[in-house]
Structures are given as structure tokens and as C-alpha cells.
Structure 1
């Protein structure tokens, strides 16, 4: 993903780590003055081998790892 532009806005600079539900990247926002850096969490939830859909509670838990986080792209 390094070098990739996400949502036509966030330029991925480098990976920071991988835990739980996905990977974390350092990114820059070229649409804002001075291109401030930010952190992008790429959620990668894999369906269980059983084929049972992932519950909304599991996704809420992943989002809950970042209390107070809000953004127009985060539902």
C-alpha cells in the first residue's frame, strides 16, 4: 500500500504495524495546508471458515479500539 492514494486523499507513507483487525499506516493529507501526517487504520476482517457472517458486535469492537475517533469516512 505504500505510495497508494486512499479515498483520493490520503497518501500512504509507510506501514506502522499490524494487530487484531488490520494494519496501521502513516499517511499524509495533501489536500490540507502543509500536508499534515495522520494515521490510517485499514480494517481487514476475515470471515470465519464456517461461512457464518461476522456480527456487527465484532465490527463495533474493532471500532471501539479507538475511543473518541470520528471522521467522515468512519461509520
Structure 2
């Protein structure tokens, strides 16, 4: 591997980083909404399949997320 290949790889990595960076920043600023959405969807799917205890667990996790998010 010569220096040109290494430079090309570094340029590709920088291009990838600049393309992905806005999405990473958005996820960092909206982490609570993403987590709550996942937990609520998990509860809905679990209840839909008749797994009521699991669905209740997902809802408790959502409440804990809200509580922990409010503490920070």
C-alpha cells in the first residue's frame, strides 16, 4: 500500500464523515424521542401479539426514560 492509496482512503473516510455527520448530530439532539418511539413501538407490537407482560415492561421502560431524561 503506497501513500496515494492511504491518502485516497483518508479522503474517502472524510467524505463519509461529512455525509453522515448531520444525521449523527440530529440523533444526538433527539435521542429521547428516538428511544421513546422504540419503546412505545415495542409495547404496541408485544401487546398486539398477546405478550401483555412484555408490553407492560416496554411501557415501564418508556416511563423510566422520561423520568431519567427529566433528571438530566
Bucket of the pairwise TM-score, normalised by the shorter protein: under 0.3
Structure having the larger proportion of residues in helix: 2
Structure having the larger proportion of residues in strand: 1
Q: Which has the higher contact order (CA 8 A, sep 6+)?
A: 2
Higher CA-based Rg? 2
